[in-house]
């Protein structure tokens, strides 16, 4: 117990290689899994429903005879791709508006800050639900909603960090020497923000994947039979006694990815 407490205090349990390994497992499964598994995730075989692990289906089959392993790896690809796209779409305007607000100040800062506060007034998952309801089961409303709830965090963190960087002695010296805002941005501000962007990206990807799974679990995710971790969980709930592995694997994959991203973000 003492050794475990000592390791936790020293941050050993949060070593970056642990987080990288956990995330790497999911990423490799998403990239290489479809090539290795080869099975169609939506192919039904009603003669072999709720089967246990076998040579043909390493993790068994679901209630429609579909390969659980094939659906898991395709769901990983979907979750990572949609999450990464949402993070990128949120980061670009969030960073740009945060830098603009920090550099310009005045009415620009007040206007964008008021817009961000207005979006924060609505709980993130509720906002995604409202947008997803415009076209239930479609990809783009989910992408738009996940991006919309994340750009505010990018804006606020970029604005706060940029204002701190602009108040540094190095920036004051650069201004006295006559350097313009673009030089100050590229030489003094952005280098200080890169570690922050990495942390925000890791947290944002985890948040997007978790939100997507939550939406799928409550029936507002992508249209069936698209493989997705949240919808896989709710589909297998009535059959937890017959096929417990098919029910446990989706949350285990989700936990592996989220835990790895959290460790990387807190390194």
CA distance 200 to 190: 15
**What pLDDT is attached to residue 64?**
92
**What pLDDT is attached to residue 15?**
67
Which residues of the chain fall short of a pLDDT of 70? 1-15, 267
**What pLDDT is attached to residue 105?**
84
**What pLDDT is attached to residue 155?**
96
Question: Where exactly are the structural domains of the chain?
Answer: 2-39+67-265
Q: Does domain 2-39+67-265 have CATH number 3.40.430.10?
A: no
**What pLDDT is attached to residue 179?**
82
Q: Is 227 left (phi over 0), alpha (psi -120 to 50) or beta?
A: beta
């Amino acid at each position: 117990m003492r050794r475990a407490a000592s390791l936790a205090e020293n941050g050993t349990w949060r070593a970056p290689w642990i987080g990288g390994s956990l995330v790497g497992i999911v990423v490799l499964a998403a990239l290489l899994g479809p090539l290795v598994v080869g099975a169609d995730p939506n192919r039904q075989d009603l003669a072999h429903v709720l089967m246990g692990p076998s040579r043909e289906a390493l993790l068994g089959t679901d209630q429609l005879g579909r390969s659980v392993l094939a659906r898991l790896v395709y769901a990983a690809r979907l979750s990572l791709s949609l999450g990464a796209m949402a993070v990128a779409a949120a980061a670009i305007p969030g960073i740009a508006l945060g830098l603009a607000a920090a550099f310009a100040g005045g009415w620009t800062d007040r206007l964008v800050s008021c817009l961000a506060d207005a979006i924060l007034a609505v709980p993130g998952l509720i906002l995604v639900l409202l947008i997803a309801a415009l076209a239930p089961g479609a990809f783009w409303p989910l992408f738009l909603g996940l991006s919309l709830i994340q750009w505010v965090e990018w804006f606020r963190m970029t604005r706060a960090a940029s204002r701190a960087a602009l108040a540094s002695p190095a920036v004051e010296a650069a201004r006295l020497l006559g350097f313009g805002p673009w030089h100050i941005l590229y030489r003094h501000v952005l280098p200080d923000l890169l570690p922050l962007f990495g942390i925000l990206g890791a947290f944002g990807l985890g948040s997007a994947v978790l939100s997507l799974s939550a939406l799928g679990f409550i029936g507002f995710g992508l249209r069936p039979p698209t493989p997705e971790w949240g919808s896989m969980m709710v589909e297998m709930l009535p059959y937890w006694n017959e096929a417990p592995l098919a029910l446990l694997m989706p949350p285990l994959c989700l936990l592996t990815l989220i835990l790895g991203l959290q460790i990387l973000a807190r390194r």
